[in-house]
Chain A
Amino acid sequence: MRELIQPVLTIAGKDIRDALKDRFILLMTAFLLVASLVALTVAAIALKADVATYIEAKAGLIALGKDAASIPDPAFYPLKLLRGFVEHVEIIGAIIGILIGYRAAASERGRQTLALIVTRPIAQWQFLAGKVLAGTAIISAGLIIAFIVAGIAVTVISGVALSVDDIGRLAIVMSAAGLYAVAFFLLGFVCALWARKLPNALLLAFTVWLSFVLIAPQIGDTLDPDNQVAGGVFKQLQIAKPQQIEILQSFSTYETIRNGIEVASPTKHFERLSFAVLGIKDTYAGQPLMPILAEKSSDLVWLLAIALALSLLLFVRRLDPNRLSKE
């Protein structure tokens, strides 16, 4: 068993050392951290502005003679501040995954060492497993740092210590983010391993990223009738929620197509799971974790299935000797 695992660990160790020397991966990870801190700070400032508006409105109502006790206090959920952070993980986290995957293959092709490796007494799966292990470790380390920084920032900004339940929720979202970024790592790795020209591999991976991370969710979001009118169509028509549901039943086919476009994107699965677990979506705020996990387990299964499908593609196809050099 040790003989089987040792080459995998050797390749993984070498790849991690190489990746840490790659300034662009470190730069992109730093970019994710900066973007996340910006998102959290801006969210806190926006919340402060909302609180000021609430206090002003409350004072106005009291001045008009309304009983202060009858005005409900707004509920505050610190994890809601993470919305922008989660969205940055969706966009930049996927790019970091692609870059790490691309580098894992490009470094070998650039140095012409891939052809050398396949002449050594090492199975193809061991080489690939070493690369995947290294990529997973680098991605996990980056995400752990990002989520710890985000957790500390939320505590400092909100002035509310995170509970054990909150930390558990963050850990679940971090694991889902890991699975999501690993799927993009596999995409970048597969493209860079198989493409005839290396820079084309990066462009191809970026085109897939653009299509599934930005365009598919954008189309789904745009087709949502409530996003077509500023403030929402039902709000403008002043129609209550139960009636909205009743009216929308007539548009079930349209909604099925719209949802179908959205769920074609792994990003939307990660977002739906994360927004529910962290209570960013209002309907899940303050709700217990287990029922949310049960409801959103299909999103987790989708992420897992995408990562597994890409892994299968990677391990089943044999390395092509014509694709082992730089060009």
Chain B
Amino acid sequence: MVTAHSTSRIGLLTGHSLAALMRERTVALLGLLFLILVIVSAYLGWSATSTVNAIYLRSAEYMSAQGQTLPPNPVLDTSPLALLRNMATYVSLIGALAAIVIGHQLMSAERKAGTMPLLGSRPMRPADLGIAKSLALIVAIAALVIFAALINTATFLALPEFRLDAIGWLKLAAFYGASGLYLLVFGFLGLWFGASAKSETVGLLIPVTIWLTLTFVLPQITSNINPVAALNPVSALAEPPASAFFQITGWALGSLSLAEAYRIISAQLLDFLPANYIDRAAIPAAVSLFVAALGFAGLAARAIGRMDMTKGDYDA
């Protein structure tokens, strides 16, 4: 049962963890890079869409001169939300890496500072530390996502030609909810290894290797998406060749391919999912992300609960 005392302790630990996190320059650097890319993403979407429109107009002149029939302008089929299609890529690249670093840093800072034995000597349940660190992680990731959402909202307000209706705004909000959930998966992964790894470097490198596998290796097995194609929001949604192999791997491993699950959800919410795209995974993409976030949160809580509170540093 959570008492008023333990709530106050958790609040104190959460606040302290966030204050320590904000002092970390590398976390600030990654956070800043993410926010710069949020702005770049909106510019890229606008620039690329405008260029395709200009190419269409130029092509239309040429085709009219040749007496050819004009096909419809592909830009007119594009939703204004698709302007932000690159956001899905940046969230899964820099956002996920920043989330790993935040999760890792929340535990490693405590271990390096030698404060674990001190925390162990306080009247505190092992679960309190886990809850406080998880709350700090959720607040830090929510801050990143809210900043990104504010920048993108300002972008839409500044570009009247890309006007959103009520459903559009709701979809945009849902996209940021999904992005937050995806980042939490990696944040909890970083927290788990930040608490359980024997060395600081290994605690950082194992989550990065898992992220590499999820982002570049699994999509290749399930959908024949090459690593570089996985970086392009449009190419990454190409249909796999008609083969029993991809039907089976897509069904069996698709639920584990979290980067793909997030990409599908993003494409649905930002209106750039091809009409004929079929998600072959056994479990719906949103459920995969929920289960992964809950699973990693559980593993992180278990690792924090099992930490030896008599040990100061990694080597101690």
A88–B227 touching, CB < 8 Å:
yes
In chain A, positions 211-245 with a C-beta closer than 8 Å to chain B are 211, 214-215, 217-219, 221-223, 225, 227-230, 233-234, 236-239, 243
- Kindly list chain B residues whose C-beta atoms are within 8 Å of the C-beta of A53: 241-242
In this complex, what residue of B is CB-closest to A224? Answer: B48
- Kindly list chain A residues whose C-beta atoms are within 8 Å of the C-beta of B243: 45-46, 48-49, 52
Count of B interface residues, CB-CB < 8 Å: 61
Q: Which of B108, B204, B227, B232 has the most CB of A within 10 A?
A: B227
**A42's contact among B59, B208, B224, by CB below 8 Å, is which?**
B224
Q: Which of B54, B55, B238 has the most CB of A within 10 A?
A: B55
Prevailing SS type, chain A contact patch: helix
Shortest C-beta distance, A34 to chain B (Å), equals 8
> Which size bracket describes the interface of A in this complex?
35 or more
**A238's contact among B33, B71, B90, B232, by CB below 8 Å, is which?**
B71
Shortest C-beta distance, B6 to chain A (Å), equals 32
A38–B47 touching, CB < 8 Å:
no
**A24's contact among B26, B205, B234, B235, by CB below 8 Å, is which?**
B205
A227–B232 touching, CB < 8 Å:
yes
B30–A203 touching, CB < 8 Å:
yes
A230–B274 touching, CB < 8 Å:
yes
Prevailing SS type, chain B contact patch: helix
Shortest C-beta distance, B51 to chain A (Å), equals 5
In chain B, positions 214-244 with a C-beta closer than 8 Å to chain A are 216-217, 220-221, 224, 226-228, 231-235, 237-238, 240-243
Binds B, one of A89-97, A145-153, A295-303: A89-97
Q: A202 on the interface (CB 8 Å rule)?
A: yes
Q: A166 on the interface (CB 8 Å rule)?
A: no
**A84's contact among B48, B55, B205, B226, by CB below 8 Å, is which?**
B226
B220–A84 touching, CB < 8 Å:
yes
Q: B86 on the interface (CB 8 Å rule)?
A: yes
B52–A38 touching, CB < 8 Å:
no
Q: State A102–B202 Cα separation when bound (angstroms).
A: 13
- Kindly list chain A residues whose C-beta atoms are within 8 Å of the C-beta of B237: 230
In chain B, positions 235-265 with a C-beta closer than 8 Å to chain A are 235, 237-238, 240-243, 245-246
B residues neighboring A (CB under 8 Å): 25-26, 29-30, 33, 37, 40, 44, 47-49, 51-52, 54-56, 58-59, 62-63, 71, 74, 86, 89-90, 93-94, 97, 101, 108, 200-202, 204-205, 208-209, 212-213, 216-217, 220-221, 224, 226-228, 231-235, 237-238, 240-243, 245-246, 274
- 11 additional A-B pairs beyond A91-B227, A222-B44, A237-B71, beta carbons within 8 Å, are A106-B201, A200-B25, A203-B29, A203-B204, A223-B51, A225-B51, A229-B234, A230-B234, A233-B56, A237-B56, A239-B63
